[in-house]
């Protein structure tokens, strides 16, 4: 057997060097690698040993697992490096969720502030292998920030297509600063993705949305690194925010693979969490995934403001393979979860907080037991969306239990003392 791309819908196979990300049948490809020659224990030792090395590939939290990502490309990788993100425990977040053993895997610690860098290092490396001359993506903001940075590093022109007025300030700023040609479309993310899927071939640009299987390969390393940080002891649950469903797809594949390779002795359950106003996948789960659903999406968590998720079929497989669940949380729950995470000094962007809000909801529903070992993945950095932060803490309006408004005073001791007394 050799490594190939396999269509998840019709089973067609083709070489790793075919550039189109879509199968003739309309399905999406997955990368199927040759099984590594090492057994589980040997792989664990191999990965651990690389932490001592100074080589670029070994220092990256993605390429350290290259046997399971994309072997044999060490001489070509475009790496920052990325990954090596912390696994945090915070009493305040545990208390709020009612989960005694909750950990936060903080992907906001990646170079451009989101998990996207894990997939992008692999996707842009693959673009280089294919001798691509331009790169393109649609985005709610983080993919575009990441592609802009990795494209700049690779010396390739980047075109990013985003929904006008619906991209958080930090992300838009990054895309401009890293030098991507940034197109703001009067339409939502789903319209942007349709546009770039239709146009990429005609434009001669390599498509780097998560429909690209090499992106998914990189995102799997969030799970490999998490399992390694836990001493290869699988947790009971992994909770992830879900929009276009690339992560949901990647995590399920990685967890099943880690078990199959003998890296772990069981498969954790996956919980995907959507924002209520953008929750076709949660609705699909509720009706047993009998059909693919689409909605017109609306949520404060602009990263996951997606109504027609591209990785639907792959994500359904992930939920089924991990005995997983899908749920949805309201914008108010997302903002409260975010204020709790922020208030512990950790901080994350709104979409990431959906995972924490979802963990609490699933505990309240009795799906997750209070004593379960749970990992929530924080997908993006607190500074990605500064506007929502300031609005939450400064703004008037409905229930904001953790609001911490700034206080303006004259420069006198008396006023400062008055303010401190109020506190």
Task: Please report, as ranges, the residues that interact with ligand F0G according to CB under 6 A.
Answer: 114, 116, 139-143, 210, 241-248, 303-304, 349, 351-352, 379-380
Report the candidate in 341, 420, 411 with the shortest Cα–Cα distance to residue 382.
Answer: 341
Compute how many other C-beta atoms are within 10 angstroms of the C-beta atom of residue 101: 15
User: Which residue number, 232 or 289, has a Cβ lying nearer to ligand F0G?
Assistant: 289
For Cα atoms 289, 292, 293, give the angle at the middle one, nearest 5 degrees: 105
Name the DSSP class of 349.
-
- Name the minimum Å distance from CB 377 to ligand F0G: 9
Report the candidate in 298, 216, 219, 224 with the shortest Cα–Cα distance to residue 258.
Answer: 224
User: Which residue number, 103 or 161, has a Cβ lying nearer to ligand F0G?
Assistant: 161
Cα dihedral 320, 321, 322, 325, rounded to 10, equals -10
Name the DSSP class of 367.
S
User: Which residue number, 97 or 142, has a Cβ lying nearer to ligand F0G?
Assistant: 142
- Name the minimum Å distance from CB 140 to ligand F0G: 4
Q: Strand, coil or helix: what is 93?
A: helix
User: Which residue number, 94 or 114, has a Cβ lying nearer to ligand F0G?
Assistant: 114
Asked if 244 and 310 touch (Cβ cutoff 8 Å), the reply is yes
User: Which residue number, 105 or 116, has a Cβ lying nearer to ligand F0G?
Assistant: 116
- Name the minimum Å distance from CB 119 to ligand F0G: 9
- Name the minimum Å distance from CB 303 to ligand F0G: 3
Cα 423 to Cα 412: distance, rounded to the nearest angstrom: 17
- Name the minimum Å distance from CB 104 to ligand F0G: 14
- Name the minimum Å distance from CB 300 to ligand F0G: 13
The tokens of 223 are what? Answer: 């799970």
- Name the minimum Å distance from CB 37 to ligand F0G: 31
Name the DSSP class of 184.
E
Asked if 230 and 223 touch (Cβ cutoff 8 Å), the reply is no
- Name the minimum Å distance from CB 141 to ligand F0G: 5
Report, in angstroms and rounded to the nearest whole number, the Rg of the chain calculated over CA atoms. 21
User: Which residue number, 139 or 322, has a Cβ lying nearer to ligand F0G?
Assistant: 139
User: Which residue number, 123 or 141, has a Cβ lying nearer to ligand F0G?
Assistant: 141
Distances (CA, A) of 113 to 105, 109, 265, 329, 348: 13, 6, 32, 24, 10
User: Which residue number, 43 or 315, has a Cβ lying nearer to ligand F0G?
Assistant: 315
């Amino acid at each position: 057997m050799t490594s190939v791309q396999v269509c998840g819908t019709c089973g067609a196979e083709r070489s790793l060097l075919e550039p189109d990300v879509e199968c003739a049948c309309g399905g999406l490809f997955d990368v199927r690698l040759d099984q590594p020659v090492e057994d589980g224990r040997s792989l664990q030792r191999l990965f651990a040993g690389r932490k001592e090395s100074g080589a670029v590939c070994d220092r990256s939290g993605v390429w350290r697992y290259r046997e399971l990502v994309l072997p044999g490309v060490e001489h070509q990788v475009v790496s920052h490096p990325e990954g090596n993100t912390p696994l945090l425990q915070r009493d305040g977040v545990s208390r709020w969720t009612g989960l005694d053993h909750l950990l936060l895997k903080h992907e906001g610690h990646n170079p451009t502030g989101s998990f996207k860098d894990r997939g992008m290092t692999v996707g842009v490396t693959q673009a280089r292998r294919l001798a691509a001359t331009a790169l393109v993506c649609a985005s709610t903001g983080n993919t575009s920030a990441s592609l802009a940075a990795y494209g700049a590093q690779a010396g390739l022109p980047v075109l990013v297509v985003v929904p006008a007025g619906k991209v958080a300030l930090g992300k838009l700023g990054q895309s401009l600063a890293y030098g991507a040609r940034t197109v703001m479309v009067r339409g939502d993310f789903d319209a942007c993705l349709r546009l770039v899927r239709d146009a990429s071939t005609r434009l001669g640009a390599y498509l780097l949305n998560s429909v690209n299987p090499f992106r998914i390969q990189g995102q799997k390393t969030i799970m490999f690194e998490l399992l390694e940080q836990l001493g290869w002891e699988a947790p009971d649950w992994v909770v992830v925010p879900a929009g276009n469903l690339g992560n949901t797809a990647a995590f399920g594949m990685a967890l099943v693979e880690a078990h199959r390779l003998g890296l772990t002795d069981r498969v954790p359950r996956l919980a995907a969490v959507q924002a209520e106003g953008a929750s076709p996948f949660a609705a699909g789960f509720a009706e047993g995934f009998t059909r693919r659903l689409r909605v017109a999406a609306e949520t404060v968590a602009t990263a996951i403001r997606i109504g027609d998720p591209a990785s639907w079929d792959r994500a359904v497989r992930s939920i089924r393979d991990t005995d997983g669940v899908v749920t949805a949380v309201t914008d108010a729950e997302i903002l409260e979860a975010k204020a709790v995470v922020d208030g512990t000094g950790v901080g994350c962007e709104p979409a990431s907080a959906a995972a924490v809000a979802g963990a609490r909801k699933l505990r309240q529903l009795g799906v997750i037991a209070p004593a379960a070992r749970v990992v929530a993945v924080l997908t993006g950095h607190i500074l990605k969306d500064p506007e929502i932060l300031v609005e939450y803490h400064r703004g008037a309006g409905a229930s904001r239990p953790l609001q911490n408004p700034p206080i303006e005073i004259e420069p006198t001791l008396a006023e400062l003392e008055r303010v401190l007394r109020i506190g």
